[in-house]
Amino acid sequence: MSETNMGRMPVGDPIPLRFDPTTKRRLEVLAAGIGPRRFGALVRVAARRLLADPDRVPDALGQARRASADARRITWAERPLDLDPDASTRLNQLAHQFHTDRSAIVRVALHRFLSKAGRFRHPVLSEHARTDLSCRTRVYLNRSTLVRLEKLTARNGDALTAAFVRVAVRRLLDDPGDLAAALGAIGAVRDLTPEVLGPRTNVHFDDDLRDQLDNLAERFDSDRAELMRLAARQLLANPRDLDQAVTEEIYRGDANRGKLLARNTRRQQTADQATAAPAVRTAPSPQGNPFGKRHVFRFDEDTKRRLEELADEYGPRRMSALLRVGIRRLIENPAADEALAQARRVAAPPRTARVDVALDDELLAHLDALADRLGSNRQELVHLAATRILRFHHNIENRMLDEMFRAPNNRKHLLAKHARREEIRRRERGSGT
């Protein structure tokens, strides 16, 4: 320990790390809340916590790799493929030989073709002119591959994508090569682009910490960067006791520990007082009107129309109450991360329709906490809540009443009032029920 640096222990040489932009931004925000120039210490705390429980690393690493692959997964595109009987038979035999399907072999064929197209115009034109294509099958291709193929075919102004696919398939049938390895590497229905990572960040690690990290990486066939991305995600998922842990990481001198912790506490209290603002809470109206500040969210036209139709079943002006029920159910859902991942894999239409929703401060706090945990935002989560309430809206009568009236002591009276109003409304509509 240096006698001139108030207990600050120098750390070792910097090592380069790369995080995805969302993780990097969340780490920076978390570090800024602890104090100035705390990013490196925060990353080292994440590393030490990962090393403290190495038995959990294999499962967590496998889960992180699957999540990364799912994040880059894209929906496939179905396309017809017309072949002559001989080529169709050979393709089926090849699929049977390698225990796969025809689509996977076609995806490999297109990848090889785009990697080394060579002289293709004359074979493509000849293929386009064939008249013996009597066998039709449907194959599933990567959209990114089709985009590259269409750019290649557009060079000469020809719309001959189907002929290009057949030329690629015939080339593979004539020369399969190491097809087993190719099927494992590029045969899956997914985008082949690598994970998007941000610019390099240098973080100082002492020799002992760096050696422990390297040993763990070698043990699980990984590397420093991948383990540190895992450590960062685990830290963000459970950011417990970070102020003290980061302070101890920066100042490792026992003689000055009490003074430094006290100074850190005073600085944190000063920062909290400077940034604290009085919470504005709007009390629920006894008449059951919506409460809280109104927030604007965007939906596609079809989703907004279906929400209005469902909300109208519970009476006029019930959109905010319906969406609050959807948000509360999403917050309570233990599988919210899986629902969000599935929603992201589905291509959504443009969200141009505006919907105003009244949300109280407490519900907003829970929504923001869920967004931080899932790496999302309010807009995305509210849209997810809306789509889920449209799918699962059975038996929500009492929850709608909770949101509309918020008076549990008068539940019986409110239920009766609601039933009378619904009977009158349906009679006016002529439903007779």
Q: What is the pLDDT of residue 427?
A: 72
Residue 76, phi then psi, degrees to nearest 5: -80, 165
Cα–Cα dist 162/150, whole Å: 10
Q: What is the pLDDT of residue 47?
A: 93
Cα–Cα dist 340/389, whole Å: 14
Has residue 275 got a pLDDT over 70?
no
Cα–Cα dist 97/318, whole Å: 59
The secondary structure of 243-276 as a DSSP string is HHHHHHHHB--GGGHHHHHHHHHHHHHHHHHHH-
Q: Look at strands 76-83 and 135-142 and give their pairing.
A: antiparallel
Q: What is the pLDDT of residue 216?
A: 92
Q: What is the pLDDT of residue 45?
A: 92
Has residue 109 got a pLDDT over 60?
yes
What DSSP element (H or E) covers 430? none
Which position has the higher pLDDT, 289 or 363? 363
Q: 6-20, 127-141, 160-174, 210-224: which range is least confident on average?
A: 6-20
Q: 43-47, 72-76, 81-85, 387-391: which range is least confident on average?
A: 72-76
Task: Give the pLDDT band (50/70/90) at residue 50.
Answer: very high
Q: What is the pLDDT of residue 289?
A: 42
2-31 core/surface letters (b: 16 or more CB in 10 A; e: else): eeeeebeeebeeebebebbeebbebbeebb
Q: What is the pLDDT of residue 228?
A: 93
Which position has the higher pLDDT, 11 or 81? 81
Give me the residues paired with residue 83 across strands: 135
Q: What is the pLDDT of residue 145?
A: 81
With contact defined as beta carbons under 8 Å apart, do 280 and 361 qualify?
Answer: yes
Please list, in sequence order, all residues whose beta carbon lies within 8 angstroms of the beta carbon of residue 256, skipping any fewer than 6 positions away.
6, 7
Please list, in sequence order, all residues whose beta carbon lies within 8 angstroms of the beta carbon of residue 69, skipping any fewer than 6 positions away.
190
Q: How far is CA 33 from CA 37, 42, 266, in A?
A: 10, 11, 14
Cα–Cα dist 219/226, whole Å: 13
- pTM exceeds 0.75 for this model: no
Cα dihedral across residues 248, 249, 253, 254: positive or negative? positive
With contact defined as beta carbons under 8 Å apart, do 107 and 143 qualify?
Answer: no
Give me the residues paired with residue 139 across strands: 79
What six digits make up the tokens of 110?
Answer: 């297109």
What six digits make up the tokens of 278?
Answer: 């009085």
Rounded to an integer, the average pLDDT of 280-293 is 48
Which position has the higher pLDDT, 318 or 202? 202
Rounded to an integer, the average pLDDT of 12-34 is 86
Which position has the higher pLDDT, 99 or 70? 99
What six digits make up the tokens of 205?
Answer: 């690690």
Q: How far is CA 327 from CA 331, 349, 422, in A?
A: 6, 21, 25
pLDDT in tens, 151-193: 777 766 666 788 888 989 998 998 888 888 888 777 665 555 5
With contact defined as beta carbons under 8 Å apart, do 236 and 56 qualify?
Answer: no
Closest C-alpha among 155, 195, 261, 182 to residue 19:
195
Q: What is the pLDDT of residue 142?
A: 79
pLDDT in tens, 308-320: 888 877 766 678 8
Write down the mean pLDDT value for the chain: 78
pLDDT in tens, 37-49: 688 889 999 999 9
